[in-house]
Amino acid sequence: MEAEANSGSLEDSWAFIQRPGEGCRTVPLAGHVGFDSLPDQLVNKSVSQGFCFNILCVGETGLGKSTLMDTLFNTKFEGEPATHTQPGVQLRSNTYDLQESNVGLKLTIVSTVGFGDQINKEDSYKPIVEFIDAQFEAYLQEELKIRRVLHAYHDSRIHACLYFIAPTGHSLKSLDLVTMKKLDSKVNIIPIIAKSDAISKSELTKFKIKITSELVSNGVQIYQFPTDDESVAEINGTMNAHLPFAVIGSTEELKIGNKMMKARQYPWGTVQVENEAHCDFVKLREMLIRVNMEDLREQTHSRHYELYRRCKLEEMGFQDTDPDSKPFSLQETYEAKRNEFLGELQKKEEEMRQMFVQRVKEKEAELKEAEKELHEKFDRLKKLHQDEKKKLEDKKKSLDDEVNAFKQRKTAAELLQSQGSQAGGSQTLKRDKEKKNFF
């Protein structure tokens, strides 16, 4: 009974515990509290920390990418001009600190050097995709650290990709379609027609329609300016209809009327960069910088980076649910993955041990076989040595016999010679004695 009472009181206590957001009531305040200053606090904190924005410029060499960046930010960025002799596509990144009023911006401009200059353009998009993935991977590794410093980490993820289209007036090149298709799930693509003053207005209008049609038919998802915010819904909806933007870049200022304006001077007239009747440069600047810069940053983090992060973690074996579609905690996933890894490690260790034992046995057999061959070879050499030694001894013995026989014959010859010489001397003495007796 006591246990039942305790269990009942425990259930009653749990009944009062509610999840956040459930059963909330709206209550009036008796006076000013002060949390309405939170937006101001966020603004002040953000301004003190500064902002970062990263732009990727993709397009063939000579389409005016550097000039357009100088025109967009009303400054002269330092950089070496690209040549058409690059063996492959290289990505060149430059970071600049900009200041406007009291707002600081760390701007990174990434250019694709050598894009479209090769005869074989089949793999031209790969270095770009690898670069974008590398920035995602760097951010993911920073997130997974035990001690994270994300507030001081320089976010190098690409927030906007300005894709420069050559003003051919006909249709998109296959290289453009393939590259944009490979990039649309990784970055916010804003297509622009570069050097749009190279074709007439009627051709430009047809070219825009043709580009939009080809992008839709090939399933290329370009960045659409958001229309869910009422404050910018109207202007963004209008600007979505003007994509792709036809732009002109120029840092040269000419006096037009009583004002100095950025323009390009031609023999047939002057093209004003900031004149909306001449090009869409102002539209691009409004949409990219003044209206949707924060949305581009948010889309990069919440859409493209989250997709990369999810795929990467799934590759590592992490999931939100188990096979029964029940919630799966990170700790359980880690433990399951760790046990799986340890099991695979033990299995591989056992396989390596078996392989090692097998190789040792094979090596022992090889060594025994080699040892047997060496013994056989040694026995053959020993027998051959003994045979040779016996032959040499027999030959020596025969030579010794010949030497002894020769010495005996020599001794006998010397004896005979000495005896002969003695006999000859005695006969000579006898003849001399006979002669004396005769006389």
- The Cα 295–Cα 229 span in angstroms is 11
The residue behind tokens 């693509």 is 189
The residue behind tokens 């002269």 is 76
Long-range contacts from 285-288, C-beta under 8 angstroms, 24+ separation: 285/72, 286/235, 286/239, 287/190, 287/225, 287/236, 287/239, 288/72, 288/160, 288/162, 288/190
pLDDT tens for residues 174-199? 999 999 999 999 999 999 999 999 99
Q: What percent of the chain has pLDDT over 70?
A: 88
pTM for this one? 0.72
Among 121, 19, 15, 12, CA closest to 60? 121
Higher pLDDT pick, 433 / 27: 27
What size, in residues, is the chain?
439
Both tokens of 400, joined, read 């010794």
**275 Cβ contact list (under 8 Å, min separation 6):** 261
- The Cα 366–Cα 151 span in angstroms is 64
- The Cα 172–Cα 212 span in angstroms is 10
**What is residue 419's three-state secondary structure?**
helix
- The Cα 157–Cα 55 span in angstroms is 9
Among 12, 99, 125, CA closest to 47? 99
Q: Does domain 43-314 have CATH number 3.40.50.300?
A: yes
State the number of CA atoms in the 13 A half-sphere of 74 facing the CB: 9
Q: Examine the pLDDT at 359 and tell me if it is beyond 80.
A: yes
Cβ contact 270:256 at 8 Å: yes
Cβ contact 265:254 at 8 Å: yes
Q: Examine the pLDDT at 8 and tell me if it is beyond 50.
A: no
What was the pLDDT predicted at 21? Answer: 53
- For residues 321-325, average pLDDT: 63
Q: Examine the pLDDT at 2 and tell me if it is beyond 50.
A: no
Q: Examine the pLDDT at 334 and tell me if it is beyond 90.
A: no
Both tokens of 192, joined, read 């622009």
- The Cα 390–Cα 380 span in angstroms is 15
Helix (H) or strand (E) holding 104: strand 103-113
Both tokens of 134, joined, read 């590398």
Q: Examine the pLDDT at 35 and tell me if it is beyond 90.
A: no
- The Cα 123–Cα 89 span in angstroms is 9
pLDDT tens for residues 88-131? 899 999 999 999 999 999 999 999 999 988 888 889 999 999 99
Sign of CA dihedral 426, 431, 437, 439: negative
pLDDT tens for residues 245-257? 999 999 888 988 8
Q: Examine the pLDDT at 315 and tell me if it is beyond 90.
A: no
Q: Is 88 left (phi over 0), alpha (psi -120 to 50) or beta?
A: beta
Sign of CA dihedral 362, 363, 368, 372: positive
Q: Examine the pLDDT at 86 and tell me if it is beyond 90.
A: no
Cβ contact 105:65 at 8 Å: no
- For residues 351-374, average pLDDT: 92
